[in-house]
Amino acid sequence: MKALSGAWCAWVADNVLSGVAASEIVKALVASGVPRAMARAYVDEIRRSPVLHALAAERAKTVRRELHARLLREARRDIAIERRAKPPADEFFARYWANAEPVVLTDATRGWRLWSPADMKRLAGDAVVRVTEGRNADPDYDRNFRKHMRKTTVGAFVDRVLRAGETNDFYMVAHSAAIDRPELAPLLRRIVVDPEYFDAAAGRGSKSLWLGPKGTVTPLHHDTTNILFHQIHGRKQFLLVSPHETALADAARGFYVDVDPERPREAAKRHPWWRRVVVHRVVLEPGEALFLPAGWWHHVRALDVSISLSLLAFRRPNRLGWYRPGFAETSAPEPRPT
């Protein structure tokens, strides 16, 4: 007698776990061409399997976790991302950090001397930096950023950005590590790092810089650190999804989800669960900052020629590398996108 395929065995197990009667499962197998005696034998064996009982226990845990996540989703379904003046550090950490709640700080760069692309060229034009190029030809351009790294000078790149129009083909991204170049120190001297929020003495890796034309996109992903993302020049649009939307974690490939939230109808055709997802839209104006808690999914588009700077060295533990739902079945993590 021919053995039941692995796919059929998995189907039987799933139906047993879902509470479908054994007689109905046998009937469906027979209708699909499986001999009745064989169908009964396999259903009985799978129902008695200790592995199935272990899976049932795990499924029950998953259901309980999902109910908790749904409770949190429903609680904040109609809550917009707050926009406000920067609060004292104690209030920020108690209200936003502790609750993993995004917030736009409208005056976060008070006291800074914001800079334009022209300022970057004037102050650090000869600095050699790495940028990403050829992104349009690669559907996984952000995951494959290393393949797209090229060297240029700040001045040459600024000129290219200013004449480009709207494109996503090239971009100075966080992984370029440009802000750690000593030649860019004149830019850092223009910012004021609040010592109540951040370790002002933090060095390499505590800041990230982006520069690109209108139209640059970072696809939907999450990070494993809390970030205060400052908009220096131009505007950026963020589409944010709470980590309590657990369907995204289930669909994740590494840090990314292959969904374009700017095309919700197409997303829902591929992933029916997308219709239930709440997406928050935030547009950051120059001088504003977005607190982006670790785990929040975000898709970012530059609405203008754009310069952005993130600060990471908060005065709270900020290493959350264990949060990697997209790596649950893999052993080797990929680099973080931001």
For 292-309, write each residue's pLDDT tens digit.
999 999 999 999 999 999
Provide the Cα torsion 108, 114, 116, 117; round to 10°.
-80
In 10 A of CB 5, how many CB atoms?
10
Instruction: State how far the Cα of 47 lies from the Cα of 295, in Å rounded to an integer.
Output: 38
Task: List pLDDT tens digits, range 15-26.
Answer: 888 888 989 988
Residues 6 or more apart whose CB falls under 8 angstroms from that of 78 comprise: none
> What is the radius of gyration, based on Cα positions, of the chain?
25
- What is the mean predicted confidence (pLDDT) over 61-69? 72
In this prediction the pTM is 0.82
Largest CA distance in the chain: 82
The lowest-confidence range among 57-66, 98-107, 139-148, 206-215 is 57-66
Q: What is the mean pLDDT of residues 215-239?
A: 98
Tens of pLDDT, residue by residue over 237-259, are 999 999 999 999 999 999 999 99
Task: Please provide the average confidence, as pLDDT, over all residues in the chain.
Answer: 91
The three-state secondary structure class of 267 is helix
- Residues above pLDDT 90, as percent of the chain: 71
Q: State mean pLDDT over 90-119.
A: 97
Q: Which residue has the higher pLDDT, 326 or 14?
A: 326
What domains are there in the chain, each with its CATH number? 6-69 (no CATH), 82-327 (2.60.120.650)
When pLDDT is cut at 50, 70 and 90, the band that residue 63 belongs to is: low
What one-character DSSP code corresponds to residue 58? H
Convert the pLDDT of each residue in 260-290 to its tens digit.
999 999 999 999 999 999 999 999 999 999 9
Q: What is the mean pLDDT of residues 29-42?
A: 88
Q: How confident is the model at residue 72 (pLDDT cuts 50, 70, 90)?
A: confident
